[in-house]
């Protein structure tokens, strides 16, 4: 169903977080989209650093992003299995659908538009 997965720490300052993960921990930058997103790679892990989104998703929160080729299809498959989606957002680069696991941990599907 998904093509890639990232652990996504929500951060207050993207530049500061990128410096920490690359200079202190040794992660490599895979992609960076201004102050909106940074994909980092380390041994056995992908990180997606994302700025906190106010009260909705606070800094210090970690979510899991699952990259999908077809957001609508992925959502339909999960809805059939009982999942519900709390919010869907879209811009020029991505379409995102937020949902939670049974314990309330945040996850989201992400369809890249480029």
Instruction: Give long-range contacts, CB 8 A cutoff, 24+ apart: 18-24.
Output: 18/49, 21/47, 21/49
Give the number of other CB atoms < 10 A from CB of residue 101: 10
Q: How many domains does the chain have?
A: 1
Which parts of the chain fold into alpha helices (H)? 14-19, 71-80
Q: How far apart are CA 47 and CA 59, in angstroms?
A: 15
Residue 35: predicted pLDDT:
92
CATH code, domain with 49: 3.10.180.10
pLDDT in tens, 53-67: 766 667 888 999 999
Residue 61: predicted pLDDT:
87
Residue 55: predicted pLDDT:
66
| Two structure tokens written together for 105 | 């941990």
- Please give the residue range of the domain that contains residue 33: 4-112
Question: Is the per-residue pLDDT at 103 higher than 90?
Answer: no
Whether the full predicted model's pTM is greater than 0.85, yes or no, is no
């Amino acid at each position: 169903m998904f093509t890639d997965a990232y652990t996504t720490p929500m951060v207050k300052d993207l530049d500061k977080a990128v410096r920490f993960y690359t200079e202190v921990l040794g992660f490599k930058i895979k992609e960076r989209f201004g102050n909106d997103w940074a994909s980092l790679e380390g041994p056995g892990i992908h990180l997606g650093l994302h700025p906190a989104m106010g009260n909705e998703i606070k800094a210090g929160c970690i979510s899991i992003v699952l990259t999908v080729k077809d957001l609508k299809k992925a959502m339909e498959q999960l809805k059939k299995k009982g999942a519900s989606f709390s919010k869907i957002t879209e811009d020029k680069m991505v379409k995102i659908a937020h949902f939670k696991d049974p314990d309330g941990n945040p996850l989201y599907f992400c369809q890249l538009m480029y």
